A and B are shown apart, each in its own frame.
Chain A
């Protein structure tokens, strides 16, 4: 630091602590609410410290689900979310890395055409073409399937660009050395390029896992079978459950359960996550 002013240091920490409180407080309240029974949450002000119902609430949620919202166990929903998140993540990484490889390491007719086609997908988020995309999935008979839940989401311009950018930084001599070492295109990809991309793949994994886990609109449209509900969209049924009043201790419990996996991934792999996020957006 350029200078040392105690007041400035104090202010710095004050700002940071205030920020941390602003960001953490809502989740704190969700955690607290999920450990109380319905009585404690029926009159204001609600308690701000943990109650004794944590075990009951969470075991009911995970195994039995919420009767008011169809009774699908949250455990089941989380399993669906996991399948969807992993399929989307690996699907995106797989098809992006091979298409980036083709675009960088080969010359072929329509190469740039393909590149632009992938680029244009950036401009077509699912939210703006909901109905017709839904129609395509219906026509292909993919409603209420894991395939319908994941395949339409695995095209990724961002991941393709990230890999392309990374491949361009790999020195040409490495390919040349590999060619002299009798490595063909597939062997080069498998033996050299893929191991070198490890860090990028890991960083991308985090971002894409979160993207996949947090999908809402798409599973909401594609699944009418309750056995396929994912947890992030499933919570909606509990909040807007029609006539009955929302059961907040269960809803908050579900919210907590739904955010644990992605939050854990971010916190555990913080360094990779930051690198992946800042680089994939360049």
Chain B
């Protein structure tokens, strides 16, 4: 889509895009290129010399059981967070869409966690589930669950999943609600006249019509779980115990800053970039299709 009329000026448009483009090139493109480049080198810890090693860093990664485990952890983490956050918020959105009175009140009470930083969400849940004095772990012990995420890796992963999902519910809720509200009332009424009960109506009419929203949210939630939750994990479990919550982004950071293995960290960055590009591509392919509707 284009404007019919445009201003004529030789220099002005360049001046206008300059700040954005400068920052993009200096802080986005140049570092990304650096990452790509250094993923082909092995550098000594002091940065004095480096050696071209081709794809060795990548081969090493895929031979490293720790990295493969991190892949698995990320996948479990991402899918669990997305599913949990989406299921809860869909339920809430469907309920909120039915309420006429008090709808704004409920909405206010449901959307504010969007503003809570992932790091804070993590810290608060970390406190709630603290093995010695957390209220949730106290309740859990009441029903016979021995909770200690300092020792038990699965429990630690569960903890960060819950915290990450908790923070994301508000976001999904708003989009599901917007999606539900855009479904024409007449369509629901037509289904009611066709003798479909509320549950049947939901699964045969409402849910299919929500597919675009659901798909969009799935991608957004996966991106969130893979990248934005770094803070959540770093502020709480720090990847532990024994790498049980060490998702891919966390590993990039750990290998690079703590382990000082630049080549391997760069290779991991490049793989993650590939992942983001793939996800963005999927998302925009779908947006294009949505436009055709």
Contact = CB atoms under 8 A, between A and B. Distances in A.
B92 A121 contact: no
B227 to A, nearest CB: 5
Nearest to A277: B174
A102 B16 contact: yes
B124 A15 contact: no
A209 B29 CA distance: 25
B144 interface: no
A162 interface: no
A132 B34 CA distance: 6
Interface in B127-164: 127-128, 130, 132-135, 137-138
Contact of A127 (B5, B29, B249): B249
Interface residues of A, number: 106
Interface in B10-57: 10, 12-14, 16-17, 19-21, 23-32, 34-35, 38
Interface residues of B, number: 103
A119 to B, nearest CB: 9
Contacts of A281: 175, 216, 220
A54 B6 CA distance: 60
Contacts of A94: 19
Nearest to B277: A123
Q: Is the interface of A mostly helix, strand, loop or mixed?
A: helix
A4 to B, nearest CB: 11
Contacts of B32: 124, 129, 132
Most buried by A among B25, B104, B249, B287: B249
Interface of B: 1, 3-7, 9-10, 12-14, 16-17, 19-21, 23-32, 34-35, 38, 88, 91-92, 95-96, 98-100, 104, 106-121, 123-128, 130, 132-135, 137-138, 166, 169-171, 174-175, 178, 188-189, 192, 198, 216, 220, 227-228, 230-231, 234-236, 238, 249, 252-253, 256-257, 262, 265-266, 269, 272-273, 276-277, 280, 287
